[in-house]
Amino acid sequence: MMDAELVLANGRILDGCGNPWFWGDLAIHKGRIKAVASAGTLKGMKVIDAGGRFVTPGFFDIHTHSDLSILVNRLAESAVHQGITTQVIGNCGMSPAPVDENYLSEIRHHWGRISEAPEVNWEWRSFDQYLKVLQSGGLAINLAALVGHGALRIAVMGFEERRPTSAELGQMQGYLDRAMKAGAFGLSIGLVYPPGCFADTDEIIALCEVVAQHGGLYASHIRGERETILEAVAEAIRIGREAGVPVQISHNAPKYGAPCDATANLALVEEARRSGLDVTVDNDVHTDLGPALMDALPQYLLGREVAEIVSLLKDSDSRKSIRDEILLDRRPAFGPAGLLKHGRWDRITIFEAPLNRGVVGKTIETIASDQDQDPFDVYFDLIVEMGDEVYAIYEYIDEKNIRILLQHPLVMIASDGQVLAPHGFLNDPPPYYPCCYGEFPGVLERYVRDESVLSLEEAIRKMTSFPAQRLGVMDRGVLRPGACADIVIFDLDRIHDRATNLYPHTYPFENYPHNFPEGIDYVIVNGELVIEEGQHTGVLPGKVLKHQIMP
């Protein structure tokens, strides 16, 4: 028998399905796993001695927003250094395709600053064209794409706050059908963001019926993750049942202001499964988020230009009505906005403020008491002063819920991050985004090794075979002969997430700016070494995966 190209020898092999590790060798040939056998039995042209380190499937990150940042950093540095070999893009209703010429400026606005990167030239229009742009420049990791409902709506009706006509709904279905034929894995939605929040349940069911025809997935950032979390989970389940699609509930930790802990939303998911509906959940393990201060404004403002929002905030009558809208929260705004609604200004720390360095590192509560001002006015005045250039860290998730979700068998582990790099456009200025660098090592370090919240086998299952199966990618996420050779070798004793800052935050942050984790020594994508002895090799063996029922 011919020797394999590469053998990973003498490792503790974890298959990704939750089984205990065993001492073994693993042979790789032509991008696939050729053999998995007892230690000391396999021969290869090149041999890497795992030396008792863990050998597992590459991490399969089912919830990311790398759609445009991967064009800027095709090496996928922040992802591959943490052991990720496949990312799912197009989440929360946001995908950069399809694009209609008449609404190009709207979709660029939707994507914000990344839209202006030199590598993001918006040359594509159809979903198929976008996937070709992704593949043609080379990728260090694999990508699987969802179609964003926001992109469909923008392509047909911009940010209009109304129901689509039946002709418009038919156009959205047509765009979705073509994207599914091009290889999309399903439809995602963001029901707290414009324009997703303007859609009613019937509109979503009508679109999910198209997804069902292609055997795809419905991934939902539900309609409010705070006060309305249980109604919102129930809506997602109803959509799955009526359209006949499996449902993925995205990052489903209750956010500040929720009436219950995560056991309540998980109970609804369990009940739906007992009745035969395939519903699953993902979550990340970070308790904070670092968006622009203005991202917590009511949705009807967010599709508008910054200058227009600033002029509204300067006018005392419209300032008052915006404040009333935040407090009423009639159309549930995204999670962090709950801190404004409930007056938890002590949990909002200014992170980036180029025109007013003196406020950086202070909470809005502290600034308000220093200046003897109302915190709401401090919040609005900072936006008036700096527009979309002022960012804050919102501390809005109770870590207890993260632990409940980690321990539940129906919950997979995702980052909700995106590809970043500690240099260039993606680091200028460096955003607060620790999940992009530390999500998976952080889980292994803290929740598996140090605090035993879940077992290593279970954590790896939630990072590999479970999300791959969820997406219908049956030849990844497992270590079996014939499977694609996406593999990580790591040292659990040395694993260290160097990007996460624990709450309460102390400023300046010890783990900022961006740092790669330690202990992830080798990462193999489609049989090629992308990380070797902790260093990126620069190769681009990643593939754009296409949803197909029969290859």
Q: By C-beta, is 266 or 414 nearer to Zn ion?
A: 414
- Minimal distance, residue 226 CB to Zn ion, in Å: 13
Using CB under 5 A, which of the segments 120-128, 220-228, 509-517, 518-526 binds Zn ion?
220-228
Distance, in Å, from the CA atom of 545 to the CA atom of 145, rounded to the nearest integer, reads: 8
Main-chain phi, psi angles of 67, to 5 degrees: -45, -40
Q: Least CB distance from residue 120 to Zn ion, whole Å?
A: 21
Q: Which is nearer to Zn ion, 92 or 448 (CB)?
A: 92
Q: Which two tokens stand for residue 415?
A: 């980052």
Region 228-257 residues binding Zn ion, contact defined as CB under 5 A? none
Q: Among candidates 278, 248, 241, 281, which has minimal Cα distance to 264?
A: 281
Report in angstroms how near the CB of residue 404 gets to Zn ion at its nearest: 19
Closest distance to Zn ion from the beta carbon of 144 (Å): 17
Using CA atoms, how far apart are residues 103 and 157, in angstroms rounded to an integer?
Answer: 8
d(C-alpha 436, C-alpha 511), whole Å: 13
Min CB(316)–Zn ion separation in Å? 33
CA proximity to 463, closest of 481, 447, 482: 447
Which stretch in 181-189, 215-223, 297-305, 368-376 sits in contact with Zn ion by CB under 5 A?
Answer: 215-223
Nearer to Zn ion, 221 or 514 (CB): 221
Tokens of 149: 């409902």
Taking the complex as a whole, the smallest distance from the CB of residue 330 to Zn ion amounts, in Å, to 20
Stretch in the footprint of Zn ion (CB under 5 A) among 120-128, 143-151, 218-226, 467-475:
218-226
Nearer to Zn ion, 221 or 347 (CB): 221
CA distance 75 to 79: 9
Rounded Cα gap, residues 539 and 516, in angstroms = 18
Q: Give which of 531, 414, 515, 390 is closest to 467, Cα–Cα.
A: 414
**131 contributes a contact to Zn ion by CB under 5 A:** no
**Residue 92 interacts with Zn ion (CB under 5 A): yes or no:** yes
Cβ partners under 8 Å of residue 257, min gap 6: 226, 227, 338, 341, 342
CB of 290: closest distance to Zn ion in angstroms?
Answer: 14
Query: Is there a contact between 496 and 82 (Cβ–Cβ < 8 Å)?
Result: no
Q: How far is CA 461 from CA 55, 299, 410, 413, in A?
A: 13, 37, 11, 9
The answer to the question of residue 221 lying near Zn ion (CB under 5 A) is: yes
Map tokens 């039946």 to a residue: 166
Nearer CB in complex with Zn ion: 189/463: 189
Number of residues that bind Zn ion (CB under 5 A): 2
Shortest gap between Cβ of 512 and Zn ion (angstroms)? 23
Shortest distance (Å) from residue 486 CB to Zn ion: 25
Written as one letter, the residue type at 103 is: Y
Q: Which is nearer to Zn ion, 250 or 526 (CB)?
A: 250
The number of residues in the chain equals: 551
> Closest separation between CB of residue 418 and Zn ion, Å?
12
Q: Which is nearer to Zn ion, 78 or 250 (CB)?
A: 250
For 490, half-sphere exposure in the C-beta direction (CA atoms, 13 angstrom radius) is 31
**Measured distance CA(170)–CA(23) in Å, rounded:** 56
Q: Which is nearer to Zn ion, 34 or 221 (CB)?
A: 221
Give one word for 204, left, alpha or beta, with left for phi > 0 and alpha for psi -120 to 50. alpha
From 68-76, 91-99, 394-402, 423-431, give the range in contact with Zn ion by CB under 5 A: 91-99
Give the E-state strand segments of 30-108 in sequence order: 32-38, 44-49, 54-57, 59-61, 84-89
23: left (phi over 0), alpha (psi -120 to 50) or beta: beta
Smallest distance, Å, CB 221 to Zn ion? 4
β-strands 279-283, 22-29 pairing: unpaired
CB of 188 to Zn ion, least distance (A): 9
Q: Which is nearer to Zn ion, 74 or 221 (CB)?
A: 221
Nearer to Zn ion, 221 or 536 (CB): 221
**Choice between 90 and 517, CB closer to Zn ion:** 90
Residue among 231 and 324 whose Cβ is closer to Zn ion: 231
In degrees, rounded to 5, the angle at the alpha carbon of residue 335 between the alpha carbons of residues 263 and 230 is 35
Choose the stretch contacting Zn ion; rule: CB under 5 A; options: 47-55, 174-182, 214-222, 228-236: 214-222
Q: Which range of residues in 66-74, 217-225, 479-487, 527-535 is near Zn ion by CB under 5 A?
A: 217-225
Instruction: Specify the stretch interacting with Zn ion by CB under 5 A; choose among 88-96, 316-324, 347-355, 462-470.
Output: 88-96
Stretch that binds Zn ion, among 161-169, 221-229, 235-243, 365-373 (CB under 5 A): 221-229
Going residue by residue from 54 to 73, which x/- string records binding to Zn ion, judged by CB under 5 A? --------------------
Please provide residue 511's backbone torsions phi and psi, each rounded to the nearest 5 degrees.
Answer: -100, 45
Binding residues (CB under 5 A) for Zn ion: these are: 92, 221
